[in-house]
Amino acid sequence: MNPARHFALIPAAGVGSRMGASHPKQYLDLAGKPVLAHVIDTFHAAPSIAGVVVVVSPEDGYIDDLAVKAGQAWPRLSIVRKGGATRRESVLGGLRALADHANEEDWVLVHDAARPGLTVALIERLAHALAEDRVGGLLALPVVDTLKRSDDDGRAERTVPREQLWAAQTPQMFRHGLLTRALEQAPDVTDEAGAIERLGLKPKLVEGSPRNFKITLPHDLALAELHMKGLG
């Protein structure tokens, strides 16, 4: 039996409304190139990754220009124009397109298009940690801040114990067949691990990195640039 391969799947159909920018945040300039280009570059540099699938909306007007400018730098890139209104719909579109190349036991690493701080070392750490795992898992960070639960007036109601709490990151890595089935059965989840949990399974938590944060608000872009320059 052939060893399981690893495929990156990047849902990139979002519009990034909270950024208040003129175009989606995955195409904003970061240190001289679009945010999404940093993500694709990192996956292409990872030895364990056999292919990279980017899922965009059918009307996306940016991805072709990005791919043309990259030229031969991304030989393993596939563009799937089946992005939906939700992350789940986009990931399922990518998984179904990937079914032509991947088998049920191959690994899929789903990663946010707006997390440009991912490194090859983090990808390889995740792949190594889950190599023999029957469920899969995700990068995450232990919560270190004191957590407060608020009331309806925005006042601290009580302190929430932070022991055993983790902040989820991506990639989230699961077998192609298992992840497809999980997402098909869970229409209201916000991440892949949540769909796996609905099956009664427990994804493994693998420690990530603070630099692997998601760009959501305008100041996040400036912080990401500091990390790129080694100043953050």
Higher-confidence position of 9 and 73: 9
How many angstroms separate the CA atoms of 67 and 49, rounded? Answer: 18
Q: Using alpha carbons, select from 66, 10, 87, 83 the residue that is nearest to residue 42.
A: 10
> Which residue bears the tokens 């990931």?
91
pLDDT at 116 over 80: yes
The amino acid that residue 10 corresponds to is I
The amino acid that residue 7 corresponds to is F
114 and 26 in contact (C-beta within 8 Å)? Answer: yes
Q: How far is CA 27 from CA 50, 53, 84, 211, 224, in A?
A: 24, 16, 18, 19, 14
Mean pLDDT throughout 127-149? Answer: 96
> What digits encode the pLDDT tens for the residues 50-94?
999 999 999 998 998 898 888 788 999 999 999 999 999 999 999
Q: Using alpha carbons, select from 1, 11, 3, 7 the residue that is nearest to residue 174.
A: 7
pLDDT at 16 (0 to 100): 53
Residue 95 lies in a domain: yes
pLDDT at 95 over 90: yes
pLDDT at 225 over 90: no
Residue 1 lies in a domain: no
Residue 53 lies in a domain: yes
* Residue numbers of the domain that contains 208: 6-228
Here the CATH number for the domain that contains residue 65 is 3.90.550.10
113 and 42 in contact (C-beta within 8 Å)? Answer: no
> Which residue bears the tokens 């699938």?
53
Residue 13 lies in a domain: yes
Domain count, the chain: 1
Residue 198 lies in a domain: yes
Kindly report the number of other CB atoms within 10 A of residue 33's CB atom: 15
> Which residue bears the tokens 């031969």?
72
